[in-house]
Amino acid sequence: FAGAGTTLLVPGAEGQWAWAGLGPREGLTRAGFAEAIAKGFAALREAGAARLALSLPEGLPWAQGPSARYAGEALWMAAYAFERYRTRAKPRPGPEIELVAADAAAAATGLEQAAHVGRAIALARDLINEPAAVAHTEHLIEQARQVAARAGAQCRVIAGDELARQGYGAIH
């Protein structure tokens, strides 16, 4: 096993096992951790895994809550697929994921935060992946209004000459 950035998929009696290399703990970064989680998830999904149990190791540079959040964000991003315009006989579901952590309450809070971030990133990626004929100005405004409504916030649209009056000359 080569270490940081590598993934090892091993068949076991009760299913596939994936080990994702983190490298030395003193050199572990949030990005490196997320990459390892995402690679392990991708390897198991590609192998057809129906269930994934992710254990947060002791000794990470972060407490259990932030570690769970970073792992959750990585899983959300790794699981993303823009398939709105694809036709398939049957969608391929991802594996059911269970996070194993010493501090279950902190991990649950971290995963809840990750879900908010993951949904926001998925929306941004969906908007980016939409063709220009769909993601026109009115569509983007409607999406912003929907996000604001779900969050209990207000959405104010600045358009036309009002952009220049408020100093947004670069996009006026």
Which pLDDT does position 120 carry in this prediction? 95
SS3 category, 19: strand
pLDDT-derived band at 113 (thresholds 50, 70, 90) equals: very high
Q: How far apart, in whole angstroms, are the C-alpha atoms of residue 104 and residue 65? A: 9
Q: What is the pLDDT of residues 47-77, one digit of tens each?
A: 888 788 888 888 899 999 999 999 999 999 9
Q: Are 35 and 7 in contact (CB under 8 A)?
A: no
Which pLDDT does position 157 carry in this prediction? 96
The answer to whether residue 1 scores a pLDDT higher than 60 is no
Amino acid at 151: A
Structure tokens at 120: 């926001």
Task: Please report which helix (H) or strand (E) contains residue 143, including its range.
Answer: helix 137-151
Which pLDDT does position 138 carry in this prediction? 95
pLDDT-derived band at 92 (thresholds 50, 70, 90) equals: low
Q: Which one is predicted more confidently, 133 or 96?
A: 133
Which pLDDT does position 164 carry in this prediction? 94
What percent of the chain has a predicted confidence (pLDDT) above 70?
Answer: 95
Amino acid at 171: I
Residue 9 forms beta bridges with which residues? 18
